[in-house]
Structure 1
């Protein structure tokens, strides 16, 4: 009897600047853990994704100075922020030819997190830097999939989905 379950999702997470020369804070999350988290999240969110054999995204952990430059350049807000996400696909994903999904990973986009802002926010919230980084990564990840929060209802939905994603990886109980 054939199973109706899809095969596991493969993900290629391009990790950039996981440890910082410009910052005194090193990332407490290993590259393998990041990859496992994104793979798990892709499995959960698979119904919202165009079908592909593999997916790729980029994660850059950076400083306040660099994220401020990007925030000013792309969002016209000249201040540091915690996370930026640059989605490579439109909200309504196109149907891709089967041969395309077999040849190349489907690139979802870039997530950029300021580890300095994350560290401050973790202290303010009274939790670890790992929890804050997971929270910010899940938020950026949902933005790559087309989620947004222009109003209170959509923000509540997005925050609820983030909590679900974090529970699944054991960050929240």
Structure 2
């Protein structure tokens, strides 16, 4: 008799059976809010697929459902400057802000974890600033926006860049994330 037969049949409560029942890649629900005329340059339905692929390349906090959620807001300089002033005491626009939901040590309610996706946080991108950066670098607004989304995603997961070494590591990881969704350096012109 196969010692793993109960695992394959789903009749076991062993850790192996629970692992076998989990989806091979995590599910991602991305709530996209568009508050800028140029926000539709990328189809909203692309974002969940991209975050799902990125999730396979990073260490995610455990989610009993294997499901995650985050919000992505594509906005303008006025709104992001307001948020930057409120939360970072910097009264000017920036390109991307990330608000990680799991930063504090507040325990999550177990009953929520069993029924809801794990909420990672919010990414806010100023398309005005992104456009200026894209123009200065000579690539497309779409490429810059995806780059900034990958940067924000890593911040939600605890990545930071207080020094040159960590910045280099983070930028290299962003390159990897963009490659896995088919956006490479040559696409910067697209």
> Shorter-normalised TM-score: what interval?
0.7 to 0.9
Which range is displaced more, 85-94 or 105-114?
Answer: 85-94
Query: Helix, strand or coil: the match of 1:44?
Result: coil
CA contact (8 A) 1:85 1:109 kept: yes
Q: 2:61 and 2:162 mapped to 1: Cα distance?
A: 21
Aligned to 2:188: none
Query: Helix, strand or coil: the match of 1:156?
Result: helix
Aligned to 2:32: 15
CA contact (8 A) 1:16 1:59 kept: yes
* CA 80–94 in structure 1, closer or farther in 2 if over 3 Å, else same: same
Q: 1:115 and 1:160 mapped to 2: Cα distance?
A: 23
Flag structure 2 segments of 5+ consecutive residues without an equivalent. Answer: 9-15, 186-190
RMSD of the alignment, in Å? Answer: 2.4
2:71 to 40, 58, 63: 58
Q: 1:58 and 1:163 mapped to 2: Cα distance?
A: 22
Question: TM-score, normalization: structure 2?
Answer: 0.79
Query: For residues 98-127 of structure 1, what are the alpha-carbon distances to aligned partners after superposition, in whole Å with 9 as ceiling and x for unaligned?
Result: x54330110000000001111111111111
1:132 maps onto 2:144 in alignment: yes
Query: For residues 145-167 of structure 1, what are the alpha-carbon distances to aligned partners after superposition, in whole Å with 9 as ceiling and x for unaligned?
Result: 00011111111111111111011
1:41 to 31, 41, 54: 54
Which range is displaced more, 128-137 or 48-57?
Answer: 48-57
1:76 maps onto 2:89 in alignment: yes
* CA 129–70 in structure 1, closer or farther in 2 if over 3 Å, else same: same
Aligned to 1:151: 163
Question: TM-score, normalization: structure 1?
Answer: 0.86
1:89 to 88, 95, 102: 102
Quote the offset at 1:93 in angstroms: 10
Flag structure 1 segments of 5+ consecutive residues without an equivalent. Answer: none
